[in-house]
Structure 1
Amino acid sequence: MAAVLPSRLLFFLLLLSSASHLAAAQYAEYSCNGTLGNFTSGSAFAASLDRLVASLPGDAASSPSLFASGSDGAAHGLALCRGDLTDRRACSACLAGAFAGLRRLCGAARDATFYADLCTARYSGGDFLARPDDNSPVVNGMDANASTYPGWDARNATSRSFFVSLVATLFGEMAMYGAYNSSRRLASAVMFINPQLPTVYGFAQCTPDLASAQCWHCFQGVAELNRQWYDGREGGRISGVRCSFRYEGYQFYQGTPDVRIGGKHGDDSGPDAAGTDGSSHKKALIIAVVVSITVVCGLLLAGLLIIRKQRRKRVGKTRLPVQAHSRNSTRTEEALRLWRIEESTSEFTLYDFAELAAATGDFSDENRLGKGGFGPVYKGKLPDGAEIAVKRLAAHSGQGLEEFKNEIQLIAKLQHTNLVRLVGCCVQDEEKMLVYEYMPNRSLDCFIFDQQRGPLLDWENRLRIIEGIAQGLLYLHKHSRVRIIHRDLKASNILLDKELNPKISDFGIARIFGSNMTEANTNRVVGTYGYMAPEYASEGIFSIKSDVYSFGVLLLEIVSGKRNSGHQRQYGDFINLLGYAWQLWREGRAFELIDPTLGECGEVASIMRCVKVALLCVQDSAADRPTMADVTAMLAAGAGDGGASLPDPRRPPHFSLRVSSSEDDGTEGRRTRSSSSSHATTSCSTNELTVTTIQEGR
């Protein structure tokens, strides 16, 4: 066996750090992989490698993403600096030193990798750039984790089991932000715990050439390695070629964090990093705090007086066709406290009634976008130019108040690229409004159920929308700070931004699940008939598998361009799209489901895979349905095998129910309804909510 195992070395250099830390350990580790053999001096490979390592440091340092990769003949290379660096000379110097060190330490090895605090460098005779899912420099035939390195600080955590869960939470939030909210594929974070435990800072980064899904997949591998290797320390890292993760008890990165967990927003304080407990230091600190508080209070008092004066002027000048309202942010704040809802983020705004009235043209008909589940929705434009959508609860209406409270309580705490962003609210007397980011392309049903607009969504766009919805649901079920069951996933609740990216909306009837809960039961079944899982519609039992069922229905609708519950005789003998799709699948004619507006689509294998995934999601038994983690993995696996690697689905519920042959008017035949009230979905809706209620005598 000619393979040579990688060489490994870990060394530390003490150097001066920030004012809060007198010294810190500078991490570096390298790998010399001999499985590709050695090269000789003066060879073509040596010349190519010389040119590559000479150009990559400068190319990366001059790049906006601090990243460069390339090939020169048989040599392939990658150079990445930590994304928070502002000193490009430090980036270039780190990479130049890394490549020079590898040439010196690894000799003639054709494959070598260097990890440092500030940069990562690799060169190889194998085209590792063509394998974006490989986070290790090890070639085929060797341990895939052999050169993905852990490193730990010296100080033990107070409670190992508790601290590892906190680190997992920290990394989960960073992974989601870095993969889906950052074009540079990086995220920094701070987590405030309690006075007995240190404030924890984290940084996670992928190479910027990875797609969001690839970065997310890489981070999941790092998370698994962290669970396996975690050594109970208060600081550590997992270093890989394509992605890496680090956390410490002090802020080791530059700038303000992208993600904040726990504590009060804007609170960057933590334990005294220097560890100084001398009395003189404490006295100086107390004096500094007292002086600072005095100055701040003085400034706040002066600011409040100025604001009060300006407010009086503005209210005196404001004239509206409705009753004049004073600034109501204080009333809104009081209402939230009364409802036991905390302001979730510093970006969540308590709006004045007058501000929203002015933004929407006094809620004019021309700015009305449609009617939502508990009131009309208006387009608005704020003075700074930001476009918003305002949902206005119908005055004197008790219906929708609980949904209004629920939406503020839930969605304002969530941050994901595939969830609509709630930017604020307004509460004054009978006026209650929610303010969202504006979605110029409205909702998904405007496209897939419309013959004119349907062709605007080709399969590439539809697949991206499917994957985005799946990622949003996965975040709600697994990766958000609290587990959430949406309970009303449907086409009209999927909004599309200007680039047709999907955003899950309408969290009015969503429910929080405890981490140890698998299902719950309710006597008040709410949602939309046709999207409800059978166990929920008939027994009030809901779980994450309820959302999976709704996703399966939605997936079939996106593929076919047909509603699950139509009023036309468009499904042969079947009452809905599910039975029709199942029959076509069994007979090998599932391609007949494809929306005709897609035209001559060359992605039939990909579409058929989505059909099979959808049928797996809508199986009658909740236990048979996959989780959203399974679904995203199925979708990401590609369609090269036509879906043969997926398990065979079982039949959907109510498959035996058919349309009566005596019907001539297109109405539904032997169809059992478990609801007494619903309202029809229009051809194009704006975040509408269909509510079905069941009162069960149990």
Structure 2
Amino acid sequence: MRMLQLSLVFLFVVSVHQAGAVELITYDPLSTICFPESNYTANSTYQHNLKSVLLSLSSNISGFATAAVGQGPDKVYGLAVCRGDLSAAECQNCTADAAAMIQQRCSKSKSSTMWRLSCELRYSSKNFMGTVDTNFFFLTNVNNATDPVLFNQQMKALLGNLSAAAANSSSMFASGQIQYTDFRVIYGAVQCTRDLSSANCLNCLNEAVAFIPYCCAERQGAVVIGATCSIRYELYPFLKGSAVGLQLPSPSVAPPTSRSKNTGTAVIAVAVLIPLVLLCILIFGLILWRRNSRKTSQTPVNRDKEEVDGPELLGFNLLSIRAATNDFSESNKLGEGGYGPVYKGTIDGKEIAVKRLSNKSGQGSAEFKNEVRLIAKLQHRNLVRLLGCCMEDGEKILVYEFVPNNSLDRVLFDREKGLPLDWATRLKIITGIARGLLYLHEDSRLKIIHRDLKPSNVLLDNEMNPKIADFGMAKICGMDETQGNTKRIAGTYGYMSPEYAINGNYSLKSDVYSFGVVLLELVSGRKNTSFNIDADGDRDLLNHAWNLCEENRPLELVDKALGESYDQNEALRCIHIGLLCVQEAIVDRPTMSSVGLMLGSTSVTLPAPHPPAFYVGRRSRHEAISLSYSTEQSEDQTLNLMQSSSSNAVTITELQAR
């Protein structure tokens, strides 16, 4: 299976007017990515060079332009490209608007890209000229093709011919059309940035076409956009003027007209047979209903699943799921989240968990398809296993392995109904979650950012092994990609990293931040958001942990329910790792591979942590603190926490109410 390379996902909507014309309704710009790993300071040499680059691009562009200004680390590289059907004036206007917007949206970012339907603007402190980038985002038409097999055959033939034409063209742009049926035509356009070689352009376009089955299968139209190339196809002309006039030959497939020749005969035959067919269907349906009603259990049936495919999955019929869950009875209900309720069920003597999409849920079909496609490809002992899915009668249902000990939040925070967690079990859960995240970030076939790690999304099996669940908000990254940006911020406050909660910037380090919060909750037995400033003196668990460490009282963070039955050195090390994970600066947080080493070896030296994000301190200045402790257990051991002499300044950020 081809590796998905997905940055962001958007949808565009088409509306059909009385005259039959189709109008594209979208937002401008389509997407902006501000890479947060490096920033410039106001009025710096880099900012002056950037303004010169953007002015040069917007003033001198005629379809395509590049610019480079400055020397050394202050050098700025820029590129702008307009859609091939735009006039020189339209291209200049589009680029000038993008240059103004990108400075507002990506203030102080040293590397940014903005896409509009008509142009793209890109700049960076690194020279990206001539390099192919095959990370794509996409937009799809909301309507499906009436004959998807024929449509995909014709569409791929069209895009293949256009890709070859663009790669060999000086403009690196090609558009054309191909007959779909007697009355419908597929229009297409492809384009590369002109800094690419002919071979690299063709390679980029081929990757974009190969991406279509993973994003846009069976859709009447789609746009696949990357930094160095893009493709688009529709059942209506979307370019200006005569830009679509390139008529490409039809591929050597069964001609569409041969299908229409028999239309009249088929219509007559159907009209004659309708009453008989309806009667047969009715009789057959009654027979099936009586047969199913006598069965005490139902078994899953393998079948094609609309919009979801994968050889690892079973398709469950709705009747079997209703029988397994006693028609979604309250007595079988395990819990409910933003997605919808989860029920316990039994099929063929095997316990299952059934997750049912709520009609009132803020999440929907996109998250459902995302979760199915993701989990079907992931196999790890610390990830919940998806058994199958069901999409019938408007229902969207996921069927998982049943995990008997419920979710971590119920076990950890519900003192009456939860299970007692000794220190060894807590450490086992911490280590298991870390392994699951490491698999998602580095070891799986897909690089996954979960984006919603929290105790309610960690399930515990009968041996208290943790299993990460709920991938509805997850994002797939390319193998060389570690971050992205989204306008739709989805997740749970208290577990979201500051850069994601405020600006929509997510990365692998966003999951690291969430892991740090969960780790400190496991150590303390308290929710991050359970604090009352007046009563507790701290606004959240992260501030509480930091202040205790500053005051040489870190072991007071440990859950009182543990008493003295825990390893103090292990607890101190976990607190230290947790504080490293929740630091405000992305670059200061460790990777999950580093976290795994820290948890697995006491010989690894841990760096001094800086204050957590949204830290409100009790002193006028806060720097990194040094936590030193013995790796050997001793009854009279003391913890030495001293204020570091480091001169590193720490930014104190207030999270405003939203």
Give the structure-2-normalised TM-score: 0.49
Give the structure-1-normalised TM-score: 0.46
